[in-house]
Amino acid sequence: MEEHKTLVIGASGQIGTELTLALRHRYGGESVIAADLKRDADLLKGAGPFLPLDVMDKMTLQVQVRRNNIKTIYLLAAMLSASGEQQPQLAWKLNMESLLNTLEVAREEGVQKVFWPSSIAVFGPDAPRVDCPQNAWSTPATVYGISKLSGEQWCHYYFKRYGVDIRSIRYPGLISYKTLPGGGTTDYAIEIYHAAVRGEKYTCFLKEDARLPMMYMDDAVRGTIELMEAPASRITVRTAYNLAGISFTPAEIAAEIKQLVPGFSIDYKPDYRQAIAETWPESINDQTARSDWGWKPEYGLRRMSEEMLRNIRPELAMTTKHG
Ligand code: NAD
Ligand code: SER
């Protein structure tokens, strides 16, 4: 019998690269196909198949899913919050059409499981800012948040109406060293480590007290795989699960870095991303994920900071972008 395969769309991005590595480690290199508009990330080269793919081209997506006997899809292609506010129409088009194409192909081709990430951006200024509950009602303030909230409803609809087993997490800001971030409001929490490794002062685009929910990439990847491997009977949320890791402010992460890199300094020059951050909760209640499928984060600020600073290579440290 032909082997069932997994397709990761958006595999060259921040999460896609690390998730593909983890899936290949777990299920075998050949059974996980990385796909992206961009060429494959250096870390993925030679470790398994790569497919150049535009997820907006539904017919090609369908042909590839059928030809490769794809039974699980991870859809990670999207435009994030900060980039999305620069190009709202394009963000909406990419974020919605990529999901609808994937859901339709999954339904038509009998794909067994789909993962699609939502975000804390589904919550807007009217949601509780502290310990934001799973079912908080909210009006998101960014086109990115609107696309994630609508996407969650589409996932719920495809599950209820067609039985597509689609699972989702509202990721907080994800922090990683293996790949660079892709245009989010939480990217400062990666840039700051790169500046520290280069021995430079960091100018933060958020205010010093902008507390946001964050998570180390290892926790996010582990949580994603745990959710996907959980028995369907444990999954009570078919929109997207709240997931919490660590909540901190720029001043707090800077203080932590100063303890590990004496002499590190920071100043603040808030830009349009501060307005986005102000609409999001400070912290997230993830009790439902914990009780449904056993979610538990492992990384705190200290452990994450030590790993980030140990692993970012100075010669590859990114230069800080503003705007
Ligand atoms: P990213 O921008 O780093 O990666 C996205 C990848 O998708 C890129 O490699 C890009 O080339 C690819 N892509 C874009 N358009 C495509 C297309 N038409 N066809 C095929 N590939 C295409 O993003 P990321 O940070 O890895 O985020 C992945 C997902 O996780 C997104 O849905 C994002 O909203 C969600 N998310 C991310 C974070 C975070 O902090 N990174 C937080 C919450 C949710
Ligand atoms: N990290 C993401 C962003 O800032 C949250 O979804 O856009």
Q: Is the pLDDT of residue 321 over 70?
A: no
Task: Please indicate, yes or no, whether residues 232 and 103 belong to a single structural domain of this protein.
Answer: yes
Say whether both 231 and 91 belong to one domain.
yes
Residue 290 domain flag: no
Q: Which of 7, 15, 60 to mutate to test the pocket of ligand 1 (most atoms within 8 A of CB)?
A: 15
Domain range for 140 = 5-171+217-242
Q: Is 110 left (phi over 0), alpha (psi -120 to 50) or beta?
A: left
Q: Is residue 72 part of a domain?
A: yes
* Each residue's pLDDT tens digit, 107-129: 999 999 999 999 999 999 999 99
Q: Does the pLDDT value for residue 49 go beyond 90?
A: yes
User: Domain total for the chain?
Assistant: 2
Please report, for residues 86, 167, 268, 292, 304, the alpha-carbon distance to residue 204 in angstroms, rounded to integers and kept in the order given: 19, 34, 5, 37, 19
Q: How far is ligand 1, taken at its centre, from the CA of residue 82, in Å?
A: 13
Catalytic site residue 177?
no
Pick from 69, 59, 60, 62: nearest CA to 49: 69
Binned at pLDDT 50, 70 and 90, residue 299 comes out as very high
User: Same domain, yes or no, for 14 and 94?
Assistant: yes
- Whole-number average pLDDT of the chain: 95
How confident is the model over 189-204, as pLDDT tens digits? 999 999 999 999 999 9
Q: Is the pLDDT of residue 82 over 70?
A: yes
Residue 81 lies in a domain: yes
pLDDT of residue 180: 87
For residue 78, tell me if it sits in a domain.
Answer: yes
The alpha carbon of 76 and the centre of ligand 1 are apart by a number of angstroms equal to: 5
Same domain, 99 and 125: yes
Quickly tell me which residue has 């369907």 as its tokens: 232
How many other C-beta atoms lie within 10 A of the C-beta of residue 45? 11
pLDDT for the residue 303: 98
Task: Look at residue 166 and tell me whether its pLDDT is greater than 90.
Answer: yes
**Average pLDDT of the residues in 63-75:** 98
Same domain? 119 vs 65: yes
Q: Are residues 84 and 110 in the same domain?
A: yes
Residues 26 and 80 grouped into a single domain = yes
Tens digit of pLDDT for each residue in 124-164? Answer: 999 999 999 999 988 999 999 999 999 999 999 999 999 99
98 shares its domain with 130: yes
Distance (Å) from CA 69 to ligand 1 centroid: 24
On whether both 98 and 198 belong to a single domain, the answer is: no
Nearest to 289 by CA among 123, 132, 169: 169
CATH number of 279's domain: 3.90.25
- Residue 55 or residue 322, greater confidence: 55
179 in Cβ contact with 17 (< 8 Å) = yes
Tokens of 158: 């495809």
pLDDT for 316 equals 64
pLDDT given at position 322: 39
The pLDDT confidence band at residue 315, using thresholds 50, 70 and 90, is: low
User: What value does the mean pLDDT take over residues 228-255?
Assistant: 98
Instruction: Answer yes or no: is 322 within a domain.
Output: no
Residues 192 and 204 placed together within one structural domain of the fold: yes
pLDDT of residue 42: 86
Confidence of residue 323 (pLDDT cuts 50, 70, 90): very low
Q: Is residue 259, in this structure, part of any structural domain at all?
A: yes
Most confident of 134-138, 180-184, 290-294: 290-294
Name residues whose C-beta falls within 8 Å of residue 277's C-beta, 6 or more positions apart in sequence.
185, 206, 210, 212
Kindly state whether residue 289 falls inside one of the protein's structural domains: no
Catalytic residue among 74, 144, 177, 202: 144
Share of the chain above pLDDT 70, in %: 97
Are residues 127 and 190 part of one domain? no
* 252 is a domain residue: yes
Query: Is 8 in contact with 19 (CB distance < 8 Å)?
Result: yes
Distance CA 99, CA 32 (A): 20
Residue 212 has pLDDT above 50, yes or no: yes
Residue 69, token pair as written in the block: 């006997």
165 and 112 in contact (C-beta within 8 Å)? yes
Please check whether residues 163 and 116 belong to one and the same domain.
yes
Q: Nearest bound ligand to CA 83?
A: 2
